Structure 1
Amino acid sequence: MGKVVLVTGAARKLGGRFVRRIQRDPEVDRVIAVDAVAPGHRLGDAQFVAADIRQPAIGRVLAEHAVDTVVHLDVSAKAVGTGGGRTAVKETNVIGTMQLLGACQKTPSVRRLVVKSSTNVYGSAPRDPAVFTENTPPKSLPGGGFAKDVVEVEGYVRGFARRRPDVAVCVLRFANILGPEADSPLADYLSLPVLPTVFGYDPRLQFVHEDDVVDVLGIASREPRRGTLNSGTFNIAGDGVLLLSQCARRLGRPTMPLLLPAVTWVGQALRRAGMTDFSPEQIRLLTHGRVVSTVQMRETLGFDPEFTTAETFAQFALSRGAGLLPPEAVGRVVDRLAAGVFAGPSGEVVRITGADGTSPTPGAR
């Protein structure tokens, strides 16, 4: 008999995609899709169970279906659709994870647990290392928001792993997830007609494609291949980095550099208007950036992403349509400005290039 896989967060687009994908795994016999709300997308032959992971009923679902693999995707910075605020999101992330892990602990059939986490766990601070590894502690613990949620979630997961050492536990720390169907606060920010930025900063950003997210979740939920180990904690991101200025140019969207206090005020206004969740943690990311090492992802987990950071962003940009300014025209103007600002004493141009060989905006840090 094949495995019985339970997937939380099935009403989210990513959860729905994974539910459809995991059904094609020959090792899987049944898929139980769980969410508190009915999904607006198809789930294939999966059995949908309307259950709130914040409630004890999730334990009965695990026991009744003799679930042996749990893939916990209901950890997110944004509520499903347009409903629910920050309080509901935090309750699902933290209380829901606690309840789910408690149910898993009491269910003898559970043998594998995969948890969707985020590189937000590292935070973003001015004295951060250039590259975070899975063992790098954050310079300062987040005071709130989604970053604090994932710190708490991972703490509960570590406690569960100690209590159930017979369960293989895999935590996947995803970089910013983008793609044609991206639905996150950062995707909302990058979809604004004009991008507010922090004056004097040009942060490095990493992205991971939606398709790669689904693929690596499949690897983590299966039995490990020879020479690999799909338990532990892994950073998941595409190769390379992009500066925020490069992202703006590729989107064809002008930036509006503001002093940090003004960015905070603008963020509050955008949040009240419902345009994007411009939270303090996102402002820190857009100030200091964040880059993680993916060595363990390749060497231990055995996963090689199909899309680089630049390729992921290109697909996202294409799905968002043309911006206010043609990217080619923006690039020519910025290059001319850079040539004037960074000219050497004898008139020669000092070329400053970004991670992908293009010139970032003047003043990039």
Structure 2
Amino acid sequence: MGKVVLVTGVARQLGGRLVRRILRDAEVDRVIAVDIVEPAHGLGDAVFVRADIRQPAIARVLAEYDVDTVVHMDVTGTPLGSGGRTAVKETNVIGTMQLLGACQKSPTVQRLVVKSSTNVYGSAPRDPAVFTETTPPKSLPSGGFAKDAVEVEGYVRGFARRRPDVAVCVLRFANILGPSTDYPLAEYLSLPVLPTVFGYDPRLQFVHEDDVIDVLRLALGEPPRGTLNSGTFNIAGDGVLLLSQCSRRLGRPTVPVLLPAVNWVGSALRTVGVTDFSPEQIRLLTHGRVVSTVQMRETLGFVPRYSTAGAFEDFALSRGDGLLPPRALARAVDRVAAFAESVGPAGPTAAAGAARPVIPAHSVSKERI
């Protein structure tokens, strides 16, 4: 008999993709897909169970199908359908409590994988340059999804103490990007004009949605020799990008806003339903956040296919050109640079002797934009 895997949060694109992918794994015998609403996308041969993880009935699902592996994907910052912030918090916190209670009572559960977030570190002006898995945050998140993630991880640690026989893996993902991403930061980056905090240019990390699926598969399977797939791991692509680099690569101009007025702008955006411009997201866009991925590589044995820049590039291609297409912007920069070089210290007459060629746009390094 192979593994019987239960996956929560399958109505979302990422959860549905994970279900379809692990169905192809030889060691998986059956996949039980759970959500409160039926997904609009296909789930292959998985058994879909409409269930609310906030209710004790989830324990009956574990018992009925003799589930041995649980992948908790239903920890998110965006509502499903018309649900609001209250519904999201209840699913994140109360739903996790109920699910862990059911796992604790189940004699068949052997492995638990939880999708968490690097939001648990918060964003503060005195943060370290790089967070490791054991670095305490300088300032705990005060609300929103970040606070939910902190509470969820607290309940998971309690479960691990009560059930030491269960292998528990917590994956703290950096901001997830990709063509089908629907997370709050992706919504913000999709705005035609990006409001930013005046005087700040934060460092950001991203992880591609394909790498998210790959590392989740690794975490729920048997660990490769010399690695360990239990514990807490930061998951992010190599490198960092500044917010200014992101805006230029998207071709979207920025509108710097004085810090006292940022909360007002965020409230206005939430009112019109444009994006979840929460206080925690504002702190991220002010101070940034960078995490170490040494444990991801050396202990978990996972190497992402996409760097931070690569994940962002794939996301940017899916969004199309903004108001200032990057290639056109690069050509304009080249023309200005060529003109300035032709004029030089000798003055305009130096340009009369010979025209200098304009550098092709494709030759401009991405680091310049």
1:253 lines up with 2:241 in the alignment: no
Q: How has the CA–CA distance of structure 1 residues 337 and 140 changed in structure 2, closer, same or farther, with 3 Å as cutoff?
A: farther
**Alpha carbons of structure 1 residues 224 and 265: separation in structure 2 relative to 1, 3 Å:** same
Alignment root-mean-square deviation, CA: 1.7
Q: Is the 8 A contact 1:175 1:235 kept in 2?
A: yes
Distance 1:138 1:334 in 2: 41
Alignment of 1:101 with 2:100, yes or no, is: yes
Amino acid at match of 1:204: R
* C-alpha separation in 1, matches of 2:336 and 2:96: 50
Query: Which aligned segments of 4 or more residues in structure 1 are displaced greater than 2 angstroms?
Result: 328-338, 356-360
- Counterpart of 2:19 in structure 1: which amino acid? V
What does 1:224-303 align with in structure 2 at a 5 Å threshold? 224-303=223-302
Q: Which residue does 1:201 correspond to in 2?
A: 200
Of structures 1 and 2, the larger Rg is shown by 2
- Matched residue SS, 2:172: strand
| TM-score, with length taken from structure 1 | 0.91
The answer to whether structure 1 residue 113 and structure 2 residue 105 are counterparts is: no
Aligned residues: 344
- Which residue number in structure 1 is paired with residue 358 of structure 2? none
Counterpart-to-counterpart distance in 2, 1:298 and 1:336: 43
Is residue 2:219 matched to residue 1:220? yes
Alpha-carbon distance in structure 1 between the residues aligned to 2:259 and 2:226? 48
Equivalent position amino acid for 2:155 in 1:
Y
Question: CA contact under 8 A between 1:298 and 1:304: conserved in structure 2?
Answer: yes
Deviation at 1:329, TM superposition (A): 4.0
Residue number in structure 2 paired with 1:150: 149
**Aligned partners of 1:337 and 1:176: how far apart in 2?**
35
CA-CA distance at 1:358 after TM superposition: 2.4
Cα shift at 1:327:
1.2
**1:7 to partner: Cα distance:** 0.2
Q: Distance in 1 between matches of 2:209 and 2:257?
A: 31
CA contact (8 A) 1:238 1:305 kept: yes
2:58 & 2:94 partners in 1: Cα distance? 12
Residues 72-128 of structure 1 show CA distances to partners (whole Å, capped at 9, x for unaligned) of 000001012x32111100000000000000000000100000000000000000000
Corresponding position of 2:352? none
The question of whether the paired residues in 2 share the 8 Å contact of 1:18 and 1:214 is answered with: yes
What amino acid is aligned across from residue 278 of structure 1 in structure 2?
F
Counterparts in 2 of 1:61-210, with a 5 A limit? Answer: 61-80=61-80, 82-210=81-209
For each residue in 1:12-68, what CA deviation from the matched residue of structure 2 results, as whole angstroms up to 9, or x when unmatched? 100000000111111110000000000000000000000000000000000010000
Percent of pairs with identical residues:
81
Quote the offset at 1:325 in angstroms: 0.9
Question: 3-state DSSP class of the match of 1:310?
Answer: helix
SS at match of 2:234: strand
Instruction: After TM superposition, give the deviation of residue 330 of structure 1 in Å.
Output: 3.5
**Structure 1 residue 333: Cα displacement:** 6.4
Name the amino acid aligned to 1:51: A
Distance 2:283 2:105 in 1: 39
C-alpha contact (below 8 Å) 1:267/1:278 kept by paired residues: yes
Consecutive unaligned residues of structure 2, counting only runs of 5 or more, are 338-344, 346-364
> What SS does the aligned partner of 2:113 have?
strand
1:249/1:331 contact within 8 Å kept: no
Deviation at 1:211, TM superposition (A): 0.3
Partners of 1:358 and 1:202 in 2: CA distance: 15
- SS in structure 2 of the partner of residue 113 of structure 1: strand
Partner Cα separation in structure 1 for residue 143 and residue 219 of structure 2: 29
Match of 1:46 in 2: 46
- What is the deviation of 1:337? 10
Match of 1:308 in 2: 307
What TM-score do you get using the length of structure 2 for normalisation?
0.90
Conservation of the 8 A alpha-carbon contact between 1:4 and 1:68: yes
Unmatched tracts of structure 1, length 5 or more: 339-345, 347-355, 361-365
